[in-house]
Structure 1
Amino acid sequence: MREAKWGLGALALVIGAGAGLGSIAFRWLIKTFTGLFSGHADYAGAGGSANPHVPWLGPYFVLLAPVIGGLLYGPLVDRFAKEARGHGVPEVMLAVAQRGGRINPNVSVVKALASALTIGSGGSVGREGPIVQIGSALGSTLGRITKVTEGRMKLLVACGAAGGIAATFNAPLAGVFFAMELILRSFTVEAFGAVVLSSVAASIIGRAAFGDVAFLTLPAFHVDHVAQYGLFALLGIVAGGVGIGFTRILYWIEDACDWAWRGPEWLRPAVGGLLLGVVLLVLPEMYGVGYPVLERAAEGKYAAAFLLLLLAGKVLATSLTIGIGGSGGVFAPSLFMGAMLGAAYGAGMQSLLPGTAGAVGAYALVGMGAVFAGASRAPITAVVILFELTGEYSIILPLMLAIVTATAVSRLLSRDTVYTLKLRRRGIDLDGPAPGAPLGSQRVDEVMEAAPGALAVDAQLSAVALALSRSAHGVLPVADKNGRYVGTITARAVAEALADEPGSAGCGALAGDLVQRPASLTADLPLAAALHALISHPGTGLPVLDSERSHLVGWLTHQSALRALHPVTSPAPVCAPVPAG
């Protein structure tokens, strides 16, 4: 059952249902703890009022709420599931990339409690990281119980992540693309089908509990002037920088907390909660996720200077919450930052170009997606979730423009995202081998084989066909008159060219006319990085170039990579045939 296609579908549905029920429980926990600690359903929108449970403290109760919350979730995380600390998504990405999808089953319960306590007691983090980790742990646990293969285990983890996002945010499409783009980091028909089933099942349960409404109430979106597209593109550039800036500050503050703290880890959230309490006293809008504040910003109810203050406050409050050991996501904070940035930018454009800029809310919505894309570098997820939040098709063009621009700026400014940087700081490369893996730590020049003879760029097609017929690779390199590497030519390309010119044997066509430029490797590249290119390449091997990428020095094939496991030092003995009888 577990290996049949229908069995995968059944498991995906079960995981989606479980993630949907988990999201209901998780949101109830957040609501309950927020009410207990603050006396309000969402204190961020309460304007710094007193807690009705302890009215004599006035607004100063926020100095104690994070401390008490830290005393509760600090020991819980330290004792039962240390991976529940932080924003969660990097741990799921690592489990899929290098641990065969195996996640500690304790994570589901510990993460739900720790994150709900963190958010309820004032931690300025989101709920997407926790629900992704909760759903993924559920998928991994079910995979272990049913003893599925490693490939399907990873897929079940992604199903749990998709189901959690879909149910929590009432965004089934965003759940699918979040799982595919960030967790699996690949797209296949089988994976897409399973993840969709899980997302649908979770969404049905989530809508039955929460209603078929978006988790945010946002204003209608309109593009009134074609010149606004230029303004949206400029906003994307700024948002990409803000996304990377948030990522850097997040880990700078975490480093500072690591450097300053010398006590037991279970006590760190409580002591650090004093600092967080000071931030909340100055800016109570930072309490919890902050959706009411986000909605007001999108409606244009704040002045530009205050919006920028809220942006800086969110960066500080979220970074401090994570740095002291809190548990929660960075997805919702990045949406918050984007809304503040976009609304402030829109207000500024209205002052400069009153007849062209349009409504502030439009820039707030686009800024939400652009900052998230700049921080996470997940442009498809960013576009889809903002579309699902608004239901406005008119948002698509400006949103796509700003998000792609923000993603491009993010790539220029940083190698890593808000998710992968956490892992790289621990010496983990998602594209590299798992620690202790027997294959991947070598360099390409240690395992490559001799390159096949290069063809001249001006060789006739008939001569090229003859050379390819004698080659074991089905592809040959091509070099110019100076011996510099130009590209490769494949047997398939030659066969198609000859078929297009029946009877002429390709007269007039030269090797240079059919040259392709596949992904090329350098001799000093780690084998782990080269393997990703080799696996995704449809041919039998890839050219290896020198450091200047001008001359061919070798050829990497699947066989030569596998020989790194058992290098041959001497020819294997050839056994003589045994006479019959």
Structure 2
Amino acid sequence: MSYLKKYKLPLLWLRRHTSSRDFMLISSALVGFTAGMAAVILKTIVHYLYIMLAYGGRLFDRPVLLVVLPIIGILLTVVVVQLFFKGKVEGGTAGILYSIAQKSSIVRRSKMYSYVITSGITAGFGGSAGLESPIVVTGSAIGSNFGRSYHLNYRERTLLLACGAAAGVAAVFNAPVAGVLFAVEILLTDISIAAFIPLMIAAVVGTLCSTLTLDEDLLFYVGNVEGFKAGNIPFYMLLGALTGLISVYYTRTVHWIENIFEPLSGNVYKRALIGGLCLGLLIMLFPPLFGQGYESIKMLQRDHADLLLEDSWLNFFGTNEWLIVGFTGALALVKVIASTLTMASGGKGGNFGPSMFVGAFAGFFFSKLINLTELGNVPIHSFTMVGMAGILSGVMHAPLMGIFLIAEITGGYTLMIPLMVVSATSYAVVKYFEPYSLEAKKLAQRGELLTHNKDTTVLRIMKIRHLIETEFQPVSPDATLRELVEVIAHSRRNLFPVVNTKGTLEGIILLEDIREIMFKTDKYDLVKTKELMVKPPVLVQHDDSMAEVMKKFDESGAWNLPVVEGEKYLGFVSKSSIFTKYRKLLIKTTNV
């Protein structure tokens, strides 16, 4: 505790004695450093564990271990999650989007380290998942909790959350521009120019962490690309269309497999065994699926695609160009299944790395096929790299990030035009079939996703349960007019719910509807409230989205509507309370 106090005291002093802008710049650098070092640690551990198991120990010489190790990794991950994190290590990048949209950018403290531990176990033992999403979660949690520690507001906390994510991505790929664009395209729905400065600082600091501490083998850098030729534009357009269709396949396959495993969510160990066994068998058939797959991508870039067959059962048929083409094309498709099995069965990881794997193999397959069929003579290395941008753009719905990430990985902008052509084409194809990215799709279906439409964003943040007004005085359907008048005399409202003994709403009474009869004292003991009530124009369910509530207000023309849970009366919601809350949230969420 004393260490934490020493750490916080200088920053508390800075918080009090510097402007908000200066404190944010200092904070972004600190968050970037912490997130960058977390990425370095995770990347280093998994890399050397993978090298030791897969190559140093010649794991591929013992195919049975290809089945056993992923199962062990997934089971260990599940055990750690259940014993040490109470089963609460969930969400990935989608969880961060949910935190921004529904939890005021507050991320659980345990996510600062839980994903590093669990994803390291999963990937280290051969799970076919990426580390980038766990690093994004870790960096986001670091930024969010830094903001909470110094009592920053929602906008500042959201910006630091994005800084942590940007630093993590930048550190993994040594790509600061891609880190910034990842935060802008995926996490932040509304951003001011001033917010770019903290994001850039965090991304640069994160990049320096990896550049100064990681060996070249750990940095995914490729320099072997050929120059751009205008004559290849039609082929790049075709590659963009292909990667767009594969991205649609990717998204739908992920959700299909997740739905298959959903009934097993009650028994996490059974799910881990079944999913781990399926994954292990798939890896035994396609050994390059073991682990993240970056070593396999490097083999393609170094003209060693034939080595991919060396550890496969297909090696029995010898090595020829057509077999390599078929094998790489199949790998592009089955990688989706392998990575989804890894995560659906309880392993931890993300789809960022697998997307790059699929893109690289799709680009290699396409270009090799074009050359073998003599339809053209295209540069295979360039198409392999550009394919990664196509799948990233399609799966993540982040074309700018995909373009600049590959540009930075290849050490320049030689491929800028092909990257733009392929990413734009892929993104256009995907948007036609899938309006939301892979990570955002489920949140969008539940109405829990922030969008670039500010009105829609604010409405999705608002929850009906926070707007229910309960000071309306209920009356019994069997109460007399005298009793009703007594209730009216002690109420400031002009609307009265009629509720029976079971708590069910039977109707409502409007003061303006009974104003005339109220003064006829001779009817005080003769008329019952059930004779005076009317049915409400529409009922609002307690779990309705705010968009549904506003639609009901528009269609009914009412100013107040009753809220029920099933048939049980809870209270009323009014337009005035919604507008007041809307204005507050609009101010809160504007200009991150």
TM-score over 0.5 (shorter chain): yes
Residue 339 of structure 1: which of 360, 377, 399 is its match? 360
Tell me the equivalent position of 2:410: 390
- Partners of 1:350 and 1:358 within 8 A in 2: yes
1:276 shift after superposition: 1.1
Say yes or no: does 1:312 pair with 2:333: yes
Distance 1:309 1:154, change over 3 A: same
Percent identity at matched positions? 27
**TM superposition shift of 1:213:** 8.2
**Distance in 2 of aligned mates of 1:566 and 1:359:** 58
State how 1:55-454 maps to structure 2 within 5 Å.
58-79=62-83, 80=85, 82=87, 84-85=89-90, 88-210=92-214, 215-218=219-222, 220-223=224-227, 225-259=229-263, 261=264, 264-266=267-269, 268-302=271-305, 303-353=324-374, 356-424=376-444, 428-431=448-451, 432=457, 433-434=459-460, 437-438=463-464
Cα distance between partner residues in 1 of 2:341 and 2:353: 15
Matches within 5 A, 1:474-493: none
- Give the Cα–Cα distance (whole angstroms) in 2 for the partners of residues 141 and 258 of structure 1: 31
Q: How does 1:512-523 map to 2 (within 5 A)?
A: none
Where structure 1 has 5 or more consecutive residues not aligned to the other structure, the ranges are 51-57, 443-525, 532-544, 547-552, 554-560, 569-581
Structure 2: how far apart are the matches of 1:29 and 1:220?
27
> CA contact under 8 A between 2:364 and 2:383: conserved in structure 1?
yes
Whole-angstrom distance in 1 between the partners of 2:86 and 2:212: 31
Q: After superposition, give the CA deviation of every residue in 1:370-416 in whole Å (9 maximum; x if it has no partner).
A: 01101111011001100000013220001101100111111101122
Where is the helix percentage greater, Structure 1 or Structure 2? 2
Partner of 1:455: none
Q: TM-score, normalised by structure 1?
A: 0.71
The question of whether the paired residues in 2 share the 8 Å contact of 1:240 and 1:371 is answered with yes
Within 1, Cα distance between the matches of 2:265 and 2:204? 47
Letter in 2 for 1:49: F
Name 1:19's counterpart in structure 2: 35
Structure 2 Cα separation of the partners of residues 348 and 283 of structure 1: 20
- Aligned-residue offset at 1:428: 2.8
* Contact 2:31–2:142 (Cα < 8 Å) also in 1: yes
Q: TM-score, normalised by structure 2?
A: 0.69
Q: 1:346 to 1:207 in 2, by over 3 A?
A: same
Aligned partners of 1:71 and 1:270 also within 8 Å:
yes
Q: Which residue of 2 aligns with 1:502?
A: none
Size of the aligned set, in residue pairs, is 446
Residues 219 and 361, structure 1, Cα contact 8 Å, conserved in 2: no
How many Å separate the matches in 1 of 2:242 and 2:25? Answer: 42
User: d(CA) in 1 for partners of 2:228 and 2:26?
Assistant: 47
5+ long unaligned stretches in structure 2: 1-13, 306-323, 452-456, 469-544, 558-572, 581-592
**Are 1:66 and 1:270, in contact at CA under 8 Å, matched by a contact in 2?**
no
Deviation of 1:18 after TM superposition, in Å, equals 0.4
Matching residue of 2:526: none
Matched AA of 2:82: D
| Matched AA of 2:112 | S
Judge conservation of contact 2:261–2:271 (CA < 8 Å) in 1: no
Deviation at 1:71, TM superposition (A): 2.4
The answer on whether the counterparts of 1:217 and 1:295 sit within 8 Å (CA) in structure 2 is no
Q: Distance in 1 between matches of 2:414 and 2:80?
A: 46
RMSD after superposition:
3.2
Poorly superposed stretches of 4+, deviation over 6 Å: 439-442
- State the Cα deviation string for residues 132-183 of structure 1 (Å, max 9, x = none): 0011111111111111011111111001101111112111111111011111
